[in-house]
Amino acid sequence: MRASLFLAGVIFIYKEVTVISEKFKSLTPDKQERIINAALAEFARNGYERASTNEIVKEAGISKGSLFVYFNNKKELYLFLLDYAAKIIDKIYSEVDWGETDVFERMKALGLAKFKTYKSHPQAFNFLKATAYEDADEVKAEVRKLANTLIAEGLEKGYKDIDRSKFRKDIDINKALDIISWTMLGFNEQERDGVDSIDEVDFEILEEANSYFEILQRCFYKEEQ
């Protein structure tokens, strides 16, 4: 089974969370990681409403009182995790050669960078996967806003300064880009729904995505001379 999330980077910071996270940042990196991973795992397993802060503190090895020194309530913890996960996604772009202007080669590079990030931060992506189904009124608006922003900014970055001269002259390039976007968004949604955990992602996902790129390239690019 495979999974993919067509997400892009965005810094999604709330004023309240920024203040709280400064206290959190005073902890040792090891303690921060324990708390974050425990919280990510609990929200990914149970969703916002059913997630238990008792389970989070138990898994992290801290007291419940100390958790609420850093986060006033469960919602603030959840929003902090949204911000944390979005920043991890943003790191993907540092691994991409933006001098590559062929849109399909750029998409392949982005796919590889995402795959590496999935493997290094599986808990964050399991959490993000779960947000696709989150319908709790208390956080639903923030989750939807983040998802829409991630996709919009991802597409903007992916298509910025691409070489349009490679496209056939008899097609509308903007519509071609829309078709590329819809294809990959649909592919990613299908793959996301077919996996229980990001840990199950393997290299095959890149090979399959590339096979779609090859078809689209033959449809939209000029024939090589």
Q: What is the pLDDT of residue 21?
A: 63
In the chain the domains, ranked by start, together with CATH numbers, are 15-220 (1.10.357.10)
- Strands (E) across the chain are located at none
**pLDDT tens for each residue of the chain, 225 residues long:** 333 333 333 333 344 444 456 778 889 999 999 999 999 999 999 999 999 999 999 999 998 888 988 888 999 999 999 989 888 888 888 888 899 999 999 999 888 888 888 888 889 989 988 998 898 999 989 888 888 887 787 888 889 999 999 999 999 999 999 999 898 888 877 777 766 677 666 778 888 889 999 999 999 999 874
Do 44 and 129 form a contact (C-beta atoms < 8 A)? yes
Query: Three-class SS of residue 221?
Result: strand
Q: What is the pLDDT of residue 18?
A: 47
- Angle among Cα 163, 168, 173 to the nearest 5 degrees reads 60
Distance CA 6, CA 113 (A): 12
Closest CA to 60 of 83, 29, 43, 39: 39
Closest CA to 110 of 157, 175, 150, 176: 157
